[in-house]
Structure 1
Amino acid sequence: MGLTGGIGSGKSSVARRLAEYGALVIDADAIAREVVEPGTEALAEIVAEFGEQVLTPEGRLDRPKLGEIVFADEARLARLNAIVHPRVGQRTQELMERAEEGTVVVYDVPLLVENGLADLYDVVVVVDVPVRTQVERVTATRGMPEEQVRARIRAQATREQRRAVADILIDNSGSEQELDVRVAEVWEELQRRLRDTRPADPAS
């Protein structure tokens, strides 16, 4: 299944709860960071393409600096994607192959809607909250100014666009206890869907 939601929606909280139920959670952002760690081929290629300026003094990727370069030039962004995306795909496949038969695999993808990835998943789960809730949460937990939060929200898919691709919607505008109950319901629904996709036992 693909799991997505806007900034401050609580998508990570949902992913954590699903992992506690036994799902294999694959975090797209974490993999993207992993494949450009110091010593990796990807980081070496990025430095060859963009120069030493994209490294921190410690030799790690300076993401803000790289962002300044690629988001101002579509051709350079395409080159960066050509370096990173195949490796993310390969690593994702490696992790998915570890899943045992009958395991629910949750692919945590912040930009699932923006990148048109909904059709890649058997089930798309969207974590949904009102914009005002996103703003309140992010300003409180990350200390980010409200206008920066709203700018990020504007740069992402709208609530309507996410809801349009959702097979399952999780309203996370309430309490932690309410989220516990809703995730438990979603887990039962995922188990039911999993049972329905299994071939019938010939002996039965």
Structure 2
Amino acid sequence: MGKTTRLIAITGGIGSGKSVVSKVLLSMGKHVYDCDSRAKSIVDSSAEIKMRIACEVSAEAVGPDGVVDRAKLAEVVFADRNALNRLNAIVHAAVIDDIENWRVGLPDNTDTAWVESAIIYESGIDRIVDCVWLVEAPEDLRIKRVMARNGVSADDVKKRIDAQNRTCDYVRHSCIQTILNDSLAPLLPQIQRLLQK
């Protein structure tokens, strides 16, 4: 069996700039797995996962045509913490399996690949990565970014940041490198420096 590609997680709170770091890496020809888009694709394409969501989370969230009603699903899980936990258990396990399959399918000469996720500990991704790149930015800048991107109020963004702060613990991995994503700290030199480590 050949060597295993090293995995690095890219994480950080909403508006910190995780996706920007991923885009820089992709522009450099690196391999990056986007957990958000892949999770949606996995749920949409897996009859087994849709059946489990219907049986274990909410029958109303999966239509007779097999399409997941995301608005209904969100309504159910945000009103019921147990339902959210059941949904997360289903989706997170599927994403971990998908990451491992993706890693196996990378070109043989791939030394390192990246996994972008806001919830590396809650999802269990921290257990399969070798290091964590934590993307940080001042809160006022994060609020402005999300307001511009999502067309929401500052209060809505602040609530999401506060909710993440209550549930996120970014310092539990033995290898953490911090990237400051603000106007005074250009990203490219920071990423290039980390790539040389």
Cα distance, 1:30 vs structure 2: 1.7
SS of aligned partner of 1:136: helix
User: How many pairs were matched up?
Assistant: 186
| Cα distance change on mapping 1:46 and 1:118 into 2, 3 Å | closer
Cα distance, 1:86 vs structure 2: 2.7
Who is 2:53 aligned against? 46
CA distance in 2, matches of 1:107, 1:188: 18
The reply on whether 1:126 has 2:143 as its aligned counterpart is: no
Q: Larger C-alpha radius of gyration, 1 or 2?
A: 1
Q: Deviations for 1:68-107, whole angstroms, at most 9, x for unmatched residues?
A: 2123334333332343233222211110101224431101
Cα distance, 1:116 vs structure 2: 6.6
Aligned pair partner of 2:86 in 75, 79, 82: 79
* Identity value in percent: 31
SS of aligned partner of 1:68: helix
SS of aligned partner of 1:8: coil
SS of aligned partner of 1:67: helix
| Cα distance change on mapping 1:33 and 1:19 into 2, 3 Å | same
SS of aligned partner of 1:22: coil
The reply on whether 1:187 has 2:187 as its aligned counterpart is: no
TM-score (norm 1): 0.77
Cα distance, 1:24 vs structure 2: 1.6
CA distance in 2, matches of 1:83, 1:124: 24
Cα distance, 1:174 vs structure 2: 1.4
CA distance in 1, matches of 2:65, 2:152: 26
Which amino acid is 1:133 matched to?
Answer: L
Q: Deviations for 1:45-85, whole angstroms, at most 9, x for unmatched residues?
A: 3234422x314798532223212212333433333234323
Who is 2:179 aligned against? 170
| Structural mapping, 1:1-204, within 5 Å | 1-37=8-44, 40-49=47-56, 50-51=58-59, 53-55=60-62, 60-99=67-106, 100-113=108-121, 117-157=125-165, 161-162=169-170, 165=173, 167-174=176-183, 178-189=186-197
Cα distance, 1:178 vs structure 2: 1.5
Cα distance, 1:156 vs structure 2: 0.9
| Cα distance change on mapping 1:104 and 1:5 into 2, 3 Å | same
CA distance in 1, matches of 2:182, 2:63: 38
Which amino acid is 1:152 matched to?
Answer: R
SS of aligned partner of 1:71: helix
CA distance in 2, matches of 1:58, 1:132: 43
Do 2:146 and 2:157's aligned partners in 1 also have CA atoms closer than 8 Å?
yes
Which amino acid is 1:172 matched to?
Answer: N
Which amino acid is 1:146 matched to?
Answer: A
Cα distance, 1:134 vs structure 2: 0.5
Who is 1:197 aligned against? none
CA distance in 2, matches of 1:82, 1:171: 31
Structure 1: unaligned runs, 5 residues or longer? 190-204
CA distance in 1, matches of 2:124, 2:165: 11
SS of aligned partner of 1:106: strand
